[in-house]
Structure 1
Amino acid sequence: MAKWMIANKKADFDGLAREFSIKNITARLIANRLITDRTKENIQCNEEAVKTYINGDISFLHDPFLMKDMEQGARIILNKIRDNKSIRVIGDYDVDGICSSYILVSGLKLFGAEVDCVLPDRIKDGYGLSIKLVDEAYEAGIDTIITCDNGIAAAEQIAHAKEKGMTVVVTDHHEVPFELGEDESKKEILPHADAVIDPKRSEGDYPFKEICGAVVAYKFLEAMSELEKGEGPSEEEREQFFYQKLIFAGIATVCDVMELKDENRVIVRESLKRIPMTDNKGLKALIDVNGLDAYNMTGYHYGFVIGPCLNATGRLDLATRALSLFLEEDAAEAAIIAGDLKSLNDSRKDMTKSGTAEATSFVEKEIEKNGMPKVIVLYLPEVHESIAGIIAGKIKEKYYRPTIVLTKAADGGAKGSGRSIESYDMYEELSRCKELFTKFGGHKMAAGLSLPEENIEILRTKLNENCDLSEEDFVPVLHLDMVMPLKYIDMDLVKEFSILEPFGTGNSKPLFAQRDVSLLSGRIMGKNKNCGKYRVTDEGGKLYDMLFFGDMERWHDFLKDKYGESNVENLYSGTTDGTMKVSIAYQPDINTYQGRESIQIIMNDFT
């Protein structure tokens, strides 16, 4: 059962409501999203901050040149273009890597570069830049490598490229590797590239660290464009290029689970606004094959429809297939590729379901034998290594423990992915035992790693012995905006919540609490009987429709424990007397049916 935490942030709600012509409740919601430090409430939620939150556009995006090495890297590439040197972009096989590679390749071509692109094979090459990819570039006569969404942890590979006389520019957004001193201080370990551009570097004045690789690539091209003003493409060509490519920066921001704060929120909002006007035939085809309406897309469609189709290529095929979709100029061919991507994703879903069941069985046996570990480390040699991260995420959600899923690597040893919980910095904890790995990287909430099979048990033991999380850390926290009786919900209020969009990580949908909601009747719905619809009422007797899409087994167990099995049966037969009451965490929503709109309640949790 989650621990409910209700925000209690302070601001001049009435004043903000008057200034921006919004309701007091909406002003409170905005304050909850802007204020991260109670000692800075007056700064983080002043009129200017709220204005930016509500009306922020691309004029609010930060200056690319504030990133360390940005100007240096841009000048290097511009000089290489003038000298007709061959350039190779090396990206990654996930959505961020695909989008950042597409943005970079398209932009470099716009400026007249002789450029190609290689995305690593997840199984043969592994993550990011490798010695093999460096050697292949050198043998192909490539003069300059520019990385995107990788490179910050590729010190050895970049040193190898430099030994061969190649120029290397890194554009990345991942955590900078470090060494811990005796006093636990961190010393950054930077690759010896000609330029290392990463907002997470301690050097530089970039004000917002949490941008994805595609945004770094986008800003790199903005820097090139600024330095090359008056030469190269026309102003109209540049304007159209950046208008279109911001769409892909927004897709990558959502799919790489960046927090929708600061400029990320502006980028995603602009991306969703612009996607109906995309001129990219591949993206249009992907929207069509999934039956989406470009004029009514949300962050959900980026993260759970578009993104998984792109990711599936890097998992079960080659990510270059997704990149070729975005580079395709023929609409008919783009439709074929988009169909292939959707089919791959459907296969990936089946594999994930099977792999998650195997992982769950493994954990349950471990719990029965040794109790629940603080850090779950699973070795599932038969699971396809490409879905290890997805399974790790699902196991983490089920048990709310930091989870690492390892599989047998095609080239020997084991490799896998980890997903963490809020109170556990996975990258830092893995750094403490990095001698066990042949390769690893990531950030606080996720990581990728490779290691010899014989080190798996050592890793499991070390991570659990070093873990200082308490039992309280293993209770998921559900952050609620406020207690709000159902009677306050009306159509105008729910529609006004649209100014808070786009919703996603770091900018969640409004979530409220209400005590003692009476259950009057219910029915189980869905092909797999995995959701319920209920008629409920509040203390004033007003009736509402309430939907629940969560764990139905847990919901029914809760009701049976509290009210008895016969009352649960009465609920579904419509003969309950209204004495079954629950406190709910809920989101108000608008149901549209045959052109008519009505308010409905979505229950997220209960107690």
Structure 2
Amino acid sequence: MRVQLESRCNMAASKIPQQRWYIHPPQPEAARQLAAHTGLAAVLTQVMLNRGISTIEQATFFLDPDAAPLSDPLVDFPDLQASVDILVNAIANGEKIAICGDYDADGMTSTALLMRALKFLGAKVDYAIPSRMSEGYGINTRIIEEFHAEGVEIILTVDNGIAAHAPVARARELGLTVIITDHHEVPPEIPNANAILNPQLIDPGSPYRAMAGVGVAYLLALSVAQVLGKEAALKDPLLELFTLGTIADLAALTGVNRRWVRRGLRLLAQSKIKGIQSLIQVSGLGGEKNIKPEAIGFRLGPRINAVGRIGDPQIVIEMLITEDEGIALERAMQCESINKQRQQLCEQIAIDAVEVYEQGTLDAQKSRVLVIVQPEWHHGVIGIVASRLVERYGVPVFIGTYEDAAKTHVRGSARSIPEFNVFEALEYAKDFTIKHGGHKAAGGFSLAASDLTSFSDRLSEFAHQCLEPKHLKPLVTVDAQLDLNEVGMDLFQQIDQLHPCGMANPDPVFWTPNVKVSRQKLIGKNHLKLTVQQNDWNESGEASKTVDALAWRWGEYYPMPRNLDIAYKLRSNEWRGEVSIELEIVGVRPASEANGVAFSLGDQQYTCNLIQRSQIQELQIRNPQGEVLIIQKGQRMGTLSKLLQQPMEIDVTEAPYYDLVKTAAQVWAKEKT
């Protein structure tokens, strides 16, 4: 009784994140069939089924993307041939080309890619990137007119331009040729450019559909190089930049993205680009034999993005195009320094934003959207803070800051949840915006401060049309149930065959019900380290396996309850030459048994739960004394566990267990139908 009382006290003193879980329905037979063909564990072929990979042919192409047929990009992109012809003729005639890029990782890698390619091919080429702070996203009339004054004849946009009606119209008035390469959502009216390359304008079934801006730049550069017979020398360095930009931009790793990123990842650790070599060195990845997408997403990408957010994008462009090792290292060190500043800004603004919301009168659950604007926040990093607020509150977040001391104009960023389309929401509220753009998951906007209330009301109106109260918790999407005894190097190495993982092919998320938190402590900056185990004893009567787990930025939930359902990814941890597999916690909820169905038999009270454990169903029955009876479906022998005792094997066809199991099964079936 003392043990039970302590457990209840721990539960009362603890709190956990308020989340909603979606667990993909198990498909055991289909998973077994794919497992027999691929040689992968059935739990991983279940992951493939969750990604829409259900046939042997699809599985073959998924595991070996280079084996998949690839359509001709000249067919898929109607304006690709015209774009190639324009650039080939410009190179031949010595016409000056100017690239207009963007200040995020996608835009900067795209700019660097085309600068390297066009210079190598003999073009007269330069670039410009608008000021994030004073001009905002996309090509503008100032840049157009400056290009014209400098004698530019051809303007090539990368990662922007699809909504630049006025600037493109001005360029055409001045007699300039304009090629738009972009990947953002297409507005109802597109600019009058000479050629437009945008995956959003092509067949949705095309393998090129999911490309980021750097993908379009890569395709264009290679197409020009092929015509000029110089593709072989350019292919690998451009593929490295494509890989870096695609992952950093969170582009979907499907179609050609998966195919080309898989190849590019093999090149990055031994990069031939001086700037990438230096960036790898300063980020602490030097010596890595293989660089995985998460290393780009969490180590390389942020250092590039930080410069575009609070620094000068020219630092990154120079780093990625220079052949001078000294300049490359100097620029990489600048990226490192700026990224540390960015981290500090993000931490402080996130703290401020939480305080403003939780001590104010805003009610995001009632509005179904959170709109929060404060002075003196750095516009360059508020998008990152918006993502953290989405993780915390589970609602779409529109966060902004004032552009001027008089607080007359607001500029902001938006991040979303799966059921809410940011671009459509901004279109719905466009009566109150000066400028806006983006896609389903994220966007940017500017407006007069006097319209802020109307803008917020319009967004709330839109949110009420597409969101229900049940949507307003952070979503944890779970692939499959896993026994902690299956966690190990063998399974982790098999997961490598599902890589590259990223958007549209996320890292597998597993869950294990009713684990016991045997140890926990705070580490670093507000992180939580746990040691968990599934049971006190395994089926052989030995102490159950324990596994270390990390929960990033979950310090506020310390201490966690003793028993939990956990959702997690698998990660490797190397320490003093030893490599172990640990869990990265992404979700928790009260232990499944706590939510079991209560029933009585005779004068005794029980709870029961039907658990899917790997490919086996397991009925668990508990009494208030802490005894647990476990019987697997179709089995005669079960296990009876008592507190602080090793489990006993029992025959459930014998009294009193037969009536208990029969009653529990009937109660469960009735409750769940």
Bigger mean CA deviation after superposition, 285-294 or 202-211: 202-211
**Residues 356 and 273 of structure 1: is their aligned pair in 2 closer, same or farther, counting only changes over 3 Å?**
same
In 1, are the aligned partners of 2:484 and 2:533 still within 8 Å (CA)? Answer: no
**Residues 604 and 312 of structure 1: is their aligned pair in 2 closer, same or farther, counting only changes over 3 Å?**
closer
User: Aligned residues: percent identity?
Assistant: 27
Q: Cα offset for 1:599?
A: 4.4
Q: Which residue of 1 aligns with 2:642?
A: none
In 1, are the aligned partners of 2:515 and 2:534 still within 8 Å (CA)? Answer: yes
1:546 partnered with 2:548: yes
- Pairs aligned (count): 560
Task: Mark the runs of 5 or more structure 1 residues left unpaired by the alignment.
Answer: 36-43, 179-188, 560-579
1:281 partnered with 2:274: yes
Q: Which residue of 2 aligns with 1:71?
A: 81
* Aligned pairs (5 A) from 1:407-446: 407-409=401-403, 413-446=409-442
CA deviation vs aligned residue, 1:226-268 (integer Å, no higher than 9, x gap): 4x2xxx454xxx2131111111111111111112222222222
Query: How far apart, in 1, do the equivalents of 2:474 and 2:364 lie?
Result: 22
Query: How far apart, in 2, do the equivalents of 1:59 and 1:285 lie?
Result: 34
Query: How far apart, in 2, do the equivalents of 1:166 and 1:205 lie?
Result: 34
Q: Which residue of 2 aligns with 1:200?
A: 200
Query: How far apart, in 1, do the equivalents of 2:319 and 2:361 lie?
Result: 45
**Residues 590 and 284 of structure 1: is their aligned pair in 2 closer, same or farther, counting only changes over 3 Å?**
closer
1:116 partnered with 2:126: yes
In 1, are the aligned partners of 2:476 and 2:586 still within 8 Å (CA)? Answer: no
In 2, are the aligned partners of 1:62 and 1:263 still within 8 Å (CA)? Answer: no
Aligned with 1:134 (options 138, 144, 159): 144
CA deviation vs aligned residue, 1:52-111 (integer Å, no higher than 9, x gap): 111213975553211231112111222222222111010101100001111112222232
* Aligned pairs (5 A) from 1:373-388: 373-388=367-382
**Residues 485 and 446 of structure 1: is their aligned pair in 2 closer, same or farther, counting only changes over 3 Å?**
same
Query: How far apart, in 1, do the equivalents of 2:487 and 2:531 lie?
Result: 18
* Aligned pairs (5 A) from 1:76-475: 76-178=86-188, 189-201=189-201, 206-226=206-226, 228=227, 232-234=228-230, 238-293=231-286, 294-367=288-361, 372-409=366-403, 413-467=409-463, 468=465, 469-475=467-473
Bigger mean CA deviation after superposition, 332-341 or 91-100: 332-341
Q: Cα offset for 1:461?
A: 1.4
Query: How far apart, in 1, do the equivalents of 2:491 and 2:454 lie?
Result: 55
Partner SS for 2:196: strand
Q: Which residue of 1 aligns with 2:25?
A: 8
In structure 2, give the amino acid aligned to 1:308.
P
CA deviation vs aligned residue, 1:340-385 (integer Å, no higher than 9, x gap): 1110111111111111122112211344679753121121221111
In structure 2, give the amino acid aligned to 1:93.
Y
1:524 partnered with 2:521: yes
Query: How far apart, in 1, do the equivalents of 2:460 and 2:249 lie?
Result: 28
Q: Which residue of 1 aligns with 2:35?
A: 17
In 2, are the aligned partners of 1:9 and 1:32 still within 8 Å (CA)? Answer: no
**Residues 346 and 431 of structure 1: is their aligned pair in 2 closer, same or farther, counting only changes over 3 Å?**
same
In structure 1, give the amino acid aligned to 2:244.
I
In structure 2, give the amino acid aligned to 1:583.
D
Q: Cα offset for 1:9?
A: 5.8
In 1, are the aligned partners of 2:303 and 2:335 still within 8 Å (CA)? Answer: yes
Q: Cα offset for 1:554?
A: 5.6
CA deviation vs aligned residue, 1:531-574 (integer Å, no higher than 9, x gap): 12325342514221231324545644652xxxxxxxxxxxxxxx
In 2, are the aligned partners of 1:392 and 1:419 still within 8 Å (CA)? Answer: yes
CA deviation vs aligned residue, 1:259-297 (integer Å, no higher than 9, x gap): 222222222222211112321111111111112134232
Query: How far apart, in 1, do the equivalents of 2:107 and 2:70 lie?
Result: 22
Partner SS for 1:492: helix
Larger radius of gyration: 2
In 1, are the aligned partners of 2:70 and 2:207 still within 8 Å (CA)? Answer: no
In structure 1, give the amino acid aligned to 2:444.
G
In 2, are the aligned partners of 1:68 and 1:204 still within 8 Å (CA)? Answer: no
**Residues 529 and 456 of structure 1: is their aligned pair in 2 closer, same or farther, counting only changes over 3 Å?**
closer
CA deviation vs aligned residue, 1:4-43 (integer Å, no higher than 9, x gap): 222226464333323333333332222222x1xxxxxxxx
In structure 2, give the amino acid aligned to 1:543.
K
CA deviation vs aligned residue, 1:484-537 (integer Å, no higher than 9, x gap): 2223334322221111122222222222222222333x1414234521232534
Query: How far apart, in 1, do the equivalents of 2:345 and 2:235 lie?
Result: 38
Query: How far apart, in 2, do the equivalents of 1:489 and 1:371 lie?
Result: 38
Q: Which residue of 1 aligns with 2:499?
A: 501
Structure ranking higher in helix proportion: 1
In 2, are the aligned partners of 1:548 and 1:604 still within 8 Å (CA)? Answer: no
**Residues 394 and 277 of structure 1: is their aligned pair in 2 closer, same or farther, counting only changes over 3 Å?**
same
**Residues 595 and 214 of structure 1: is their aligned pair in 2 closer, same or farther, counting only changes over 3 Å?**
same
In structure 1, give the amino acid aligned to 2:20.
K
Partner SS for 1:296: coil
Query: How far apart, in 1, do the equivalents of 2:578 and 2:426 lie?
Result: 53
In structure 2, give the amino acid aligned to 1:450.
S
Query: How far apart, in 2, do the equivalents of 1:158 and 1:69 lie?
Result: 17
Bigger mean CA deviation after superposition, 259-268 or 374-383: 259-268
**Residues 16 and 452 of structure 1: is their aligned pair in 2 closer, same or farther, counting only changes over 3 Å?**
same
CA RMSD of aligned residues (A): 2.3
Partner SS for 1:385: coil
In structure 2, give the amino acid aligned to 1:404.
F
Query: How far apart, in 2, do the equivalents of 1:598 and 1:87 lie?
Result: 52
Aligned with 2:485 (options 484, 487, 512): 487
Query: How far apart, in 2, do the equivalents of 1:292 and 1:553 lie?
Result: 27
In structure 2, give the amino acid aligned to 1:141.
G
In 1, are the aligned partners of 2:365 and 2:472 still within 8 Å (CA)? Answer: no
Partner SS for 1:531: strand
In structure 2, give the amino acid aligned to 1:547.
A
Partner SS for 2:269: helix
Q: TM-score, normalised by structure 2?
A: 0.79
In structure 1, give the amino acid aligned to 2:500.
P
**Residues 531 and 457 of structure 1: is their aligned pair in 2 closer, same or farther, counting only changes over 3 Å?**
same
**Residues 51 and 149 of structure 1: is their aligned pair in 2 closer, same or farther, counting only changes over 3 Å?**
same
Bigger mean CA deviation after superposition, 70-79 or 580-589: 580-589
CA deviation vs aligned residue, 1:286-328 (integer Å, no higher than 9, x gap): 1111121342322122112211211222222211111011122
Q: Which residue of 1 aligns with 2:567?
A: 585
Q: Cα offset for 1:125?
A: 2.6
Partner SS for 2:359: helix
In 2, are the aligned partners of 1:57 and 1:270 still within 8 Å (CA)? Answer: no
Partner SS for 2:345: helix
Task: Mark the runs of 5 or more structure 2 residues left unpaired by the alignment.
Answer: 1-17, 590-673
1:533 partnered with 2:502: no
